Amino acid sequence: MNMDLEAREKKEIEREDMEQETIETEESTGRIEPWTEQLTVRGVIASIVIGMVYSVIAMKLNLTTGIVPNLNVSAALLAFVFIRTWTNLLSKAGYVSRPFTRQENTMIQTCAVACYSIAVSGGFASYLLGLNKKTYELSGVHTEGNSASAVKEPGLGWMTGFLFLVCFVGLFVLIPLRKVMIVDLKLTYPSGLATAVLINGFHTQGDKMAKKQVRGFMKYFSVSFLWGFFKWFYSATEDCGFSQFPTFGLQAWKNTFYFDFSTTFVGAGMICSHLVNLSLLLGAVLSFGVMWPLIGQLKGDWFPESLEEYDMKSIYGYKVFLSVALILGDGLYTFIKILLSTIVNIHDRLKNKNLPATDGKVKPIEEKQNEIFLRENIPLWVGVAGYAVFSIVSIIAIPMMFPELKWYFVVVAYMLAPSLAFCNAYGAGLTDINMAYNYGKVALFVLAALTGKQHGVVAGLAGCGLIKSVVSVACNLMQDLKTAHLTFTSPRAMFVSQAIGTAIGCVTAPLSFFLFYKAFDVGNPHGEFKAPYALIYRNMAILGVEGFSALPQHCLQLCYGFFAFAVMVNLVRDFSPPRIGKWMPLPMVMGVPFLVGAYFAIDMFTGTVIVFVWHKLNSKKAVIMVPAVASGLICGEGLWTLPASVLALAKVKPPICMKFLGS
């Protein structure tokens, strides 16, 4: 689950005050290159390399825990590192290269993010993987509504085609409204703003600061990569090696409480907010520390002793459905809150549109930004024609891929998509929360219920992917257009860059997925690549088909409690004084360890402790170096996954099994 969560909202919005200070150092009266020159061959090559690396990293995070931190800032940093290294090498070889501008930096970042975003939100660890046979079996072959015919094994061809259709529809849907949302309404888009602040900072703060960040990134990238290589030697089987180190004793290890020495998750913890990491730890303690041991003692009373551990009528059913209850409670509350906020905000703007502005003056820097943003306009016909063409092709092709999803459902989905995409993009502009997953879940339940028992699961999961992809891509484009607006980058160049990145992502994301799918046991609850959201999404579809009869004994009452808990926590956060509200955990995040285990929460908590201590010791240095160090830790071990996968495909096993046994 992409980490555009509430925890980032306050942190990102606080950067707004930095915006003018950073941007106004720009010599904005200087010549801005035309959009055709902002797109460069070296930039596209850099984008492909960065996008592919981040696709593999994001896929690994998705298939292990389902949590992927926002890597946009990291991608901008890596783009800067890549081109600076490129130009330095050419300079030493005696070649003169063109200057590296903030516009080119923005292009590379946009293209790379568009590429890896497909790996994050393409459904490879959720609604698409939820269609395979293994997830069907884990959901219970005798479960009502879990039809044996509701199975579609992953395939490179149909997955790539599906992504091209649904993602490119989202690329065109909001083009006509870009001026309204960026220039007229002046929506903040905190993530896009934060990326612009970072890129502008790279190109104004001087080489000294940039060199520190580059050195920090390369140092921790090397350490992380070599550590991943070293760990591999001791992991002959899945229960061996440093990733199964009983840090707190064997009994705690059996309940998944241990530090698994993953630099990827430590780096992710450094990027995510303290609230996200503390919520993960709280969820881990509540589930594997309290609830699962207690429910396990009720075996023979609440559920038969003869059932296997991973039967949905056994303890595994409680793990899945209580996690679903938290996710739905949090998602429904946030969905209603953002929708109401959007409606109220639009109403206020319409009501006050004829009133004189309190500050009639427009700053010169803003005039320059608006001039560049509007001068190289994306023609209206491009958006309309693109949306129409890809919608028509989708209406024909998607029912051929998924016969259970009738063509008229696809027609209705694309009729509603523009309004849904606008609501989501508007809400994200105000709060930085991308609600695409929640729109997808609504579509999942509606289509599963309407289609019926035989085909409801497939129709629900496919329809979820259709709506979520369109809405998510449209929102990402608006975030990137905000970055373009603040970095004096042409919207045309931005759109072309986004299209290139999306096309590359539609190819590299399925390839990244099959790298893991063929090399490792994806979906195994005992293994490293548990893919928890595949099981969660399939069981949400079963709930849509069957209702509450799919739940194990006493699970419904517990689900009511956890759903209410999620709503109450959000209410307390929003309506209590800040000194109380800021300590409220994030229910959706708490639900992730319910299935995955506590080990990765401990890793990410370690990352948050490092950041906390670093800020206490030297806050200024921490602000500059934390993104670089975290990116290095994530990329190093993440990149080691490539040779590890190749070795696994070649049937080359690690030579040593390091394992701990009780005396």
- Summarised one tens digit per residue, pLDDT across range 640-649 is 888 888 888 8
One-character DSSP codes across 617-629:
H-HHHHHHHHHHH
Higher pLDDT, 364 or 538: 538
Residue 13 pLDDT: 39
CA distances from 419 to 425, 426, 467 (A): 10, 10, 12
Task: Read off the tokens for 363.
Answer: 């700053």
Average of per-residue pLDDT values in the chain: 83
- 570 residue type, one letter: N
Query: What amino acid occupies position 414?
Result: Y
Q: Give the type of residue at 214.
A: V
- Find the length of the chain: 663
Q: Count CB atoms within 10 A of the CB of residue 45.
A: 13
Q: Is the separation of the CB atoms in 612 and 285 below 8 Å?
A: no
- The C-alpha atoms of residue 533 and residue 164 are separated, in whole angstroms, by 23
Non-local (6+) Cβ contacts of 608 within 8 A are: 269, 270, 272, 274, 277, 278
- What pLDDT sits at residue 431? 63
Q: How many CB atoms lie within 10 A of CB 236?
A: 16
Instruction: State how far the Cα of 654 lies from the Cα of 127, in Å rounded to an integer.
Output: 33
Q: Can you tell me the distance from the alpha carbon of 478 to that of 481, in angstroms, rounded to the nearest whole number?
A: 5
Distance between CA atoms of residues 258 and 252, nearest Å: 7
Roughly what angle, to the nearest 10 degrees, separates helices 263-271 and 599-617? 50
pLDDT band at 550 (very low <50, low <70, confident <90, very high): low
Tokens standing for residue 403: 């016969």
Q: Three-class SS of residue 155?
A: coil
Tell me: pLDDT of 376 over 90.
no
Residue 374 vs residue 569, higher pLDDT: 569
How many of the other CB atoms lie within 10 Å of CB of 428? 31
pLDDT higher than 80, residue 134:
yes
Predicted TM-score of the model (pTM):
0.79
- Greater confidence, 363 or 173? 173
Q: What is the pLDDT of residues 191-237, one digit of tens each?
A: 777 778 778 777 765 567 777 877 888 899 899 999 989 998 888 87
> Hey, where are the domains in the chain?
6-27+34-352+369-649
In the block, tokens 């520190």 appear at 212
36 CA to centre of own chain: 30
Longest Cα separation, the chain = 79
Taking only the tens place, the pLDDT of each residue in 14-24 is 444 444 444 44
